[in-house]
């Protein structure tokens, strides 16, 4: 199956390891991965910060780049939720019926990586080995806006050697929220503190998620505290052998 990788600007620039892991995983399960180099940013930061006008050209660009592909897969639940849940509203707001038609045709073919593996391809055991104690933080957009359910957990449970422990209050937001972490830095920090306490209480060596944006925040907090706990994208665990 031919699959286009939508890496996201964030992962492209800051988390190349996640992209490499995603490519490795998709190839392992028999996909033929393409990476359209014209891709940049889906426009989520602009759209969520109040700059819908600046987001609109990025919506058009995304559709131009990806609409020729049968399946588009991304290691970010948040950016996939942007494409699936917000593109139509932006096209409507702009009064662009043609764009609306195109985003509605493309949206259902854009998948979050773990959802694509577990639900679309039906692969729950990717043959990974990761002999560590791990806890999983469900990123809000993947969980609520996208509804990926327990796809990441089903994949993680099949990893050889893993000691998967439940995160208390797992579904509570970590406090990242994009520009929220900057504009409401104190509230964001208070939310982060509670999330870090929950992570540390599990005794895990690794906290993972299907979104590196949360992990930039959670990992940044753990690193500042010298907590000795690593933040890792689920894809990187699943790619380990």
> Of 110 and 192, which has the nearer Cβ to other proteins?
192
> Of 32 and 98, which has the nearer Cβ to other proteins?
32
Q: How far apart are CA 140 and CA 147, in angstroms?
A: 9
Residue 92 beta carbon to other proteins: minimum distance, rounded to whole angstroms: 10
> Of 19 and 152, which has the nearer Cβ to other proteins?
19
Q: At 188, is the secondary structure helix, strand, or coil?
A: helix
The pair of structure tokens assigned to 114 is: 């773990």
> Of 13 and 129, which has the nearer Cβ to other proteins?
13
Residue 139 beta carbon to other proteins: minimum distance, rounded to whole angstroms: 9
Q: Which contiguous run of DSSP H or E holds residue 109? A: none
Report the b/e string of 147-163 with b at 16+ CB within 10 A: ebeebbbbbbebbeebe
Q: How far apart are CA 136 and CA 153, in angstroms?
A: 8
> Of 14 and 105, which has the nearer Cβ to other proteins?
14
Residue 168 beta carbon to other proteins: minimum distance, rounded to whole angstroms: 12
Residue 90 beta carbon to other proteins: minimum distance, rounded to whole angstroms: 10
The pair of structure tokens assigned to 80 is: 């996939």
CA 60 to chain centroid, in Å, comes to 21
Residue 135 beta carbon to other proteins: minimum distance, rounded to whole angstroms: 18
Q: How far apart are CA 145 and CA 165, in angstroms?
A: 25
* Helix 52-66 with 97-106: angle, nearest 10 deg: 60
């Amino acid at each position: 199956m031919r699959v286009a990788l939508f890496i996201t600007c964030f992962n492209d620039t800051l988390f190349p390891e996640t992209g490499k892991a995603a490519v490795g995983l998709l190839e392992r399960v028999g996909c033929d991965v393409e990476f359209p180099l014209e891709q940049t940013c889906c426009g989520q930061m602009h759209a969520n910060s109040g700059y819908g006008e600046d987001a609109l050209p990025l919506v058009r660009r995304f559709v131009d780049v990806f609409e020729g592909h049968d399946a588009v897969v991304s290691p970010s639940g948040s950016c996939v939720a942007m494409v699936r849940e917000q593109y139509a509203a932006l096209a409507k707001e702009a009064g662009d019926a043609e764009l609306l038609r195109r985003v509605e045709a493309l949206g259902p073919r854009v998948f979050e990586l773990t959802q694509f593996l577990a639900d679309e391809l039906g692969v729950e055991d990717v043959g990974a080995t990761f002999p560590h104690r791990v806890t999983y933080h469900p990123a809000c957009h993947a969980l609520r806006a996208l509804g990926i359910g327990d796809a990441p957990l089903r994949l993680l449970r099949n990893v050889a050697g893993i000691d998967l422990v439940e995160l208390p209050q797992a579904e509570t937001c970590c406090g990242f929220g994009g520009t929220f972490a900057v504009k409401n830095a104190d509230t964001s920090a208070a939310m982060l503190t509670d999330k870090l306490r929950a992570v540390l209480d599990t005794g895990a060596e690794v906290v993972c998620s299907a979104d590196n944006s949360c992990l930039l925040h959670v990992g940044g907090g753990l690193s500042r505290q010298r907590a000795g706990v690593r933040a890792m994208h689920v894809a990187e665990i699943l790619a380990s052998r």
